Chain A
Amino acid sequence: MATLAARPRQNGATTTKAVLLVGGPSRGTRFRPLSLDKPKPLFEIAGHPIIEHCLRAISKVPEIKEVYVIGYYEEDIFRSFLQDCTKIFPSLTVKYLREYEALGTAGGLYHFRDAILKGSPGRLFVLNADVCCSFPLGQMLKLFEEKNAEAVLLGTRVPEDAATNFGCIVSDPNTKQVLHYVEKPESKISNLINCGVYLFDTECIFPAIGKAYKRRADRPRLLSYPSSENLETSYIADEEDSGTNQVIRLEQDILSDLADTRQFFVLETKDFWRQIKTAGSAVPANALYLTKAFQLQSPELSKASAVILPPVFIHPTAKVDPTAKLGPNVSIGPRAKIGPGVRIKESIVLEDTEIKHDACVLYSIIGWGSKVGAWARVEGTPTPLTSHSTSIIKNGIKVQSITILGKECGVGDEVKVQNCVCLPHKELKRDVTNEVIM
């Protein structure tokens, strides 16, 4: 059988690099209204930008020294964050590589292969940045070595009815080998799904992408079912100009092929995992990251007390009245002002917000600089712990479960806002329920 990586592989000391795929401004529309004012990768969850959580996991793998953030946001956007990274993660060099256009998750990798392959790293972690999980990269590495693998992906079990929204994996329960991979199938195939975290042998992944480009150029209409005649066994270095402007995605175009190599394994994590797609999904992600920090006894979190139900993150510059009751699963951003007798639960309160006395904020995100009046109630609906959806059915209508106020919104005294999404710079003076406020 002709496989991608039939060539002899070098064992022994190899270096490992990591790539963080962040997408671009035209992606992440589902993260509106929050992404209208902040690129999703920099949105702060549990007190830190989404990508910082990924980088922290990467920094725990001692052999990784170089990380590339790949996306098509403008360079400026990450400049100050990357400067901060040199302090937060002194062991890492983090560089931003900007795609001139959206090339797809695999296309971006391939486009920057010279930079990535500089110094001949043997292995490459690839992380989708819109994932909230414990990133058990060490375990993936261990499985990779044990199995002498060419690719390892992280998988998790989801409820049967949710599985078809994800990439589904059929694996050999004993060997952990991936036997079959299909992205968002129409029918139920497996409830083991792709977490969007990969470890590749560099000598496997780049040829596989190259081959996908060639296949695309040769047979543009036959994307999913390549025949054996265009399978190649070596680098396709001369493929550069054949259709590089086409989008090639790891999930749709590469993984099902890799399943045929028989050197593709899955590490099933029993730990938490969520996608951060919609803005509302930031609330469960916040809860998961805070819980993790609490379990690790992070000194960043507030100490439990009669008014702090852990886990709670309060930025050192925020002012919280001692009679306010916060938690569980609450993050309070820089310079936020939380008044007397305020209650906040399962929510993200972003920087420069003001929550006035006796207000109540539940299952919500309060956007930057927003003001919530006295005795106001801003409330979302909790979604079941096992749910991967952030909308619920209320009176037969699909509504946002999490209430979100965009940047610089105002909620009047005593006003109730329930299951609403409010775009930036709106003043809410009357009670609103189950609405999107433009």
Chain B
Amino acid sequence: MKALILVGGFGTRLRPLTLTLPKPLVEFGNKPMIEHQIAALAEAGVTDIVLAVNYRPEIMTKELEKFEEQFGVNIEFSLEPEPLGTAGPLKLAEKTLRKDNSPILVLNSDVICDYPFKKLIEFHKSHGGEGTIIVTKVEEPSKYGVVVHKAGHSSCIDRFVEKPVEFVGNRINAGIYILNPSVIDRIELRPTSIETEVFPAMCNDEQLHSFDLEGYWMDVGQPKDFLSGTCLYLQSLNKKNPKLLVPSTEPFVYGGNVMVHPTAKIGNNCRIGPNVTIGPNVVVGDGVRIQRSVVLKGSKIKDHAWVKSTIVGWNSTIGRWARLENVTVLGDDVTIRDEIYVNGGSILPHKEIKANIDSPSIIM
């Protein structure tokens, strides 16, 4: 089995984090985002993974060699000379993706969910069509492209309706597909979109089916959703693999869903949670309150600080009695001085914040 992960560009939507690390290596739940996908793919029997990127892949090679070894998979980069959209990369990596006749898994690197690859493969083989896309139920379909099935058919897709004004359905494209190699014949080597060019043609030929996703789904390509996605991921872990979370009997855990790396240190009288991840070598002082936040490797949160809905970038320091909230994102090596208030600040690497940030703003 083979898979293509659409990584794309610089991940500008996840800045200032992606000024320091490429998006696939930004830690989500204390693991690089791409590791979640590689692990799930390997688990489903995938042996060859192509990463479609359109910028310097070399900064990721070392990390990915580690994953090749760890998960027993081959990982190669497919470097797009220019951005090829969501379909072009399939054509570009044709050689690897067509080395045998097994179907190809395709996923957007920004999407997190409980990847149901085994069931997906099974279902795909059962219906005999050329492709299957995972769909997820949403509350507000009018913001997305909604899937409409053929009359009387539960999985064969008739068409997609982009941002429907009237209700036509509540299932949307979740950005994860399984395609027979023959689909590559439908694609030209140019910038092209799988969603708007390839899939509609497959619908016409009654070759595209949908597969309902169970559980959570989130596109974590921007900080606000990265935090929401973290909450969903931790909630899911709580049900499926609670060993990865700190037990609620730990006095500092408040409301559950707290993940703390074994090398992190937590001070006395802290109240942490719900929905917090704390990375390696993080030092949390005494009387610290953290909720709905991600604290990345090597950061320090000093005594009595209050942190909510914040991504604390690597090696950053939050001063005593500081208060951070409302999707504040600190880049690498940011310092927030004692007693400072930050409301929705997006702070670029290596900055020191000495005055309050009262309303959401970018600190260059």
Q: Which of A's residues lie within 8 Å of B, judged by CB? A: 323, 325, 340-343, 345, 357-358, 360, 362, 374-375, 377, 379, 381, 394-395, 414, 416, 418, 433
Tell whether A377 pairs with B303 under 8 Å between CB atoms, given A345-B339, A360-B323: no
Q: How far is the CA of A395 from the CA of B306 in the complex (A)?
A: 25
User: In the assembled complex, which residues on chain A have CB atoms less than 8 Å from the CB atom of B323?
Assistant: 360, 377, 416
Judged by a CB distance under 8 angstroms, whether B28 is at the interface is no
1/0 contact string of B344-364 vs chain A (CB within 8 Å): 000000000000101100000
B341 within 8 A of A: yes
Contact (Cβ within 8 A) A340 B339? no
Q: Can you identify 5 A-B contacts, CB atoms within 8 angstroms?
A: A340-B287, A341-B287, A358-B321, A374-B289, A418-B358
Does B15 belong to the interface (CB within 8 Å)?
Answer: no
Whether the pair A341, B306 counts as a contact (CB closer than 8 A) is: no
Q: Tell me whether B304 and A358 are in contact (CB under 8 A).
A: yes
Output the least CB separation between B336 and chain A (Å): 13
**In chain B between 249 and 290, which residues have their CB closer than 8 angstroms to a CB of chain A?**
269, 271, 286-289
Assess the B339–A343 pair: CB atoms within 8 A: yes
Which residues of B sit under 8 angstroms from A374, Cβ to Cβ? 289
Q: Given A341-B286, A343-B320, A395-B359, does the pair A357, B306 have CB atoms closer than 8 Å?
A: no
CA distance A323 to B320 in the complex (A): 13
Contact: A341 with B359, CB < 8 Å?
A: no
- Pair A394/B358 contact, Cβ less than 8 Å: yes
Q: Which 10 A-B pairs have the closest CB atoms?
A: A341-B287, A358-B287, A343-B321, A360-B321, A358-B304, A375-B289, A341-B304, A375-B306, A377-B323, A357-B287
- Which residue in chain A gives the minimum CB-CB distance to B270? A358
Q: Is the CB of B289 within 8 A of A341?
A: no
Chain B's closest residue to A343 (CB) is B321
Q: How far is the CA of A341 from the CA of B286 in the complex (A)?
A: 8
Q: Which residues of A contact B288 (CB under 8 A)?
A: 358
Q: How far is the CA of A45 from the CA of B303 in the complex (A)?
A: 30
Contact: B269 with A357, CB < 8 Å?
yes
Can you name 15 extra interface pairs (CB under 8 A) apart from A343-B321, A360-B323, A433-B358?
A341-B287, A341-B303, A342-B304, A343-B320, A358-B269, A358-B288, A358-B304, A360-B321, A360-B339, A375-B304, A377-B321, A379-B341, A394-B358, A414-B306, A416-B323
Compute how far the CA of A418 lies from the CA of B357 in the bound complex, rounded to whole angstroms: 12
In the complex, are the beta carbons of B306 and A358 less than 8 A apart? Answer: yes
Q: Which residues of B contact A340 (CB under 8 A)?
A: 269, 287
B286, B308, B323: which has the most chain A beta carbons within 10 Å?
B323
A360 to chain B, nearest CB (A): 4
Which of A360, A377, A418, A433 has the most B CB atoms < 10 Å from its CB?
Answer: A360
* Measured CA separation A343–B306 after assembly (Å): 13
- The distance in angstroms between the C-alpha atoms of A341 and B302, with both chains bound, is 11
The answer on a CB contact under 8 Å between B269 and A418 is no
Complex contacts, B308 vs chain A, CB 8 Å: 414
Given the complex, which residues of A lie within 8 Å of B304, measured CB to CB? 341-343, 358, 360, 375
List B residues 310-351 near A (Cβ within 8 Å): 320-321, 323, 325, 339, 341
Whole-angstrom distance from the CB of B360 to the nearest CB of chain A? 12
A90 to chain B, nearest CB (A): 43
Do the beta carbons of A341 and B269 come within 8 Å of each other? Answer: yes
Instruction: Say yes or no: A377 contacts B269, CB within 8 Å.
Output: no
Nearest CB on A from B231, distance (A): 18
Q: What residue of chain B has the Cβ atom nearest to residue A344's Cβ?
A: B321
In the assembled complex, which residues on chain A have CB atoms less than 8 Å from the CB atom of B356? 381
Chain A, Cβ-Cβ closest to B285: A341
Q: Which of A342, A343, A345 has the most CB of B within 10 A?
A: A343
Contacts of B359 in A (CB 8 A): 395
CB distance from B338 to the nearest CB of A (A): 8
Which B residues are in CB contact (< 8 Å) with A343? 304, 320-321, 339
Contacts A340-B269, A418-B341 given; indicate if A377 touches B306 (C-beta within 8 A).
yes
B-chain residues with CB within 8 Å of residue A375 when the two chains form the complex: 271, 289, 304, 306
- Set of chain A residues within 8 Å of B321, measured between Cβ atoms: 343, 358, 360, 377
A52 to B271, CA, bound (A): 44
Nearest CB of chain B from residue A379's CB, rounded to whole Å: 7
